[in-house]
């Protein structure tokens, strides 16, 4: 099966996604049996599945230190900064201690689960298939964005485009940082912060404006350009695997 992943990385990735999400969902079902909150069961399931995958694919953690080239990571932190700015300026309020505590688990689970699957394993297989780093950048971001279209239920066309664009650019930046620095832990931390800075807010009716939209488009364009620039062949330092 591992050889199939190296020979057919894209097909294998979709199979891995289906199997991994199904396996994680089993823990949510088991949690319901014991009257646990569905989000708790799902989060625990994703962490366990990610841990199992890391045991199988130990090489994805054999990269650079989490402290490698920290300046490369800084632009990616604009995403959590945007979340805080947007939510506060849209009329949402930060929750109390329960939100901060619960947010740790609900943000850590997808961060670890998705980075292992979409960056660690996928990029590793693509490279073993002799794909270029630029190919890895765009293909992994596209698959990552496609998966997040499952969140569009009830959205209009504008919402769908925003969701896809946002997920695609985040996928570009996280893949670029990983390709440049070779540290899976770095992008797990960034992904965690992106999700966590949304989870700590109380759900309220938000107020968006044309200013928000313009700033958001500028952010996405700048981040996408940054990802492309730092993955230029002359700027890449190959991670050790």
Q: Strand, coil or helix: what is 129? A: coil
Angle between helices 97-114 and 184-199 (to 10 degrees): 140
79's enclosing H/E stretch is helix 78-89
What are the structural domain ranges in the chain? 2-235
* Residues 23, 26, 31: CA angle, nearest 5 degrees: 140
Residue-level pLDDT at 59 = 74
Query: DSSP label at 119?
Result: I
Residue-level pLDDT at 162 = 82
DSSP-assigned beta bridge partners for residue 94: 201
> Long-range contacts for 103-107 (Cβ within 8 Å, ≥24 apart)?
103/196, 103/199, 103/200, 104/196, 105/40, 105/43, 105/44, 106/39, 106/43, 106/195, 106/199, 107/192, 107/193, 107/195, 107/196, 107/199
Residue-level pLDDT at 241 = 46
User: What's the mean pLDDT when you consider all of the chain?
Assistant: 86
Per-residue confidence in pLDDT tens, the chain, 241 aa: 678 888 999 999 999 999 999 998 887 776 665 566 667 778 889 999 999 999 998 877 667 788 889 999 999 999 999 999 998 888 888 877 777 888 899 999 999 999 999 999 999 999 999 999 999 999 999 999 998 887 666 666 777 788 889 999 999 999 999 999 999 999 999 999 999 998 888 776 556 788 888 999 999 999 999 999 999 865 666 554 4
**Residue with tokens 């997040």, as numbered in its chain:** 148
88-117 burial, b if ≥16 CB within 10 A, otherwise e? Answer: eeeebeebeeeeeebbebbbbbbbbbbbbb
Residue-level pLDDT at 227 = 97
CA–CA distance, 169 with 219 (Å, rounded to integer): 10
Q: Strand, coil or helix: what is 155? A: coil
CA 177 to mean position of chain CA atoms = 12
DSSP-assigned beta bridge partners for residue 201: 94
How crowded is residue 164: how many other Cβ atoms within 10 Å of its Cβ? 16
Residue-level pLDDT at 52 = 93
Residue-level pLDDT at 240 = 43
How crowded is residue 25: how many other Cβ atoms within 10 Å of its Cβ? 16
Burial of 21 (0-12, 13-18, 19+ CB in 10 A): middle
DSSP-assigned beta bridge partners for residue 93: 202
Q: What is the pTM of this model?
A: 0.90
């Amino acid at each position: 099966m591992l050889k199939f992943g190296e020979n057919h990385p894209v097909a294998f990735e979709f199979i891995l996604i289906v199997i991994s999400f199904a396996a994680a969902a089993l823990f949510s079902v088991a949690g319901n049996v014991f009257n646990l909150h569905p989000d708790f069961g799902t989060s625990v399931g994703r962490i366990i599945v990610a841990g199992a995958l890391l045991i199988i694919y130990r090489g994805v953690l054999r990269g650079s230190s989490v402290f490698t080239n920290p300046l490369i990571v800084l632009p990616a932190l604009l995403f959590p900064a945007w979340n805080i700015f947007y939510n506060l300026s849209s009329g949402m309020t930060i929750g109390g201690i329960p939100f901060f505590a619960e947010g740790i688990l609900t943000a850590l689970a997808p961060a670890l689960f998705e980075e292992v699957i979409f960056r660690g394993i996928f990029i590793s297989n693509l490279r073993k298939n002799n794909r270029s780093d630029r190919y890895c950048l765009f293909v992994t971001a596209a698959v990552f964005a496609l998966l997040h279209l499952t969140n569009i239920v009830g959205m209009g066309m504008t919402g769908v485009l925003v969701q896809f664009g946002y997920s695609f650019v985040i996928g570009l930046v996280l893949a670029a940082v990983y390709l440049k620095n070779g540290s899976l832990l770095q992008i797990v931390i960034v992904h965690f912060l992106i999700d966590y800075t949304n989870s700590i807010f109380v759900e309220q009716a938000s107020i968006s404006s044309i200013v928000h939209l313009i700033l958001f488009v500028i952010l996405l364009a700048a981040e996408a350009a940054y990802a492309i620039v730092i993955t230029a062949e002359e700027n890449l330092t190959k991670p050790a695997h």
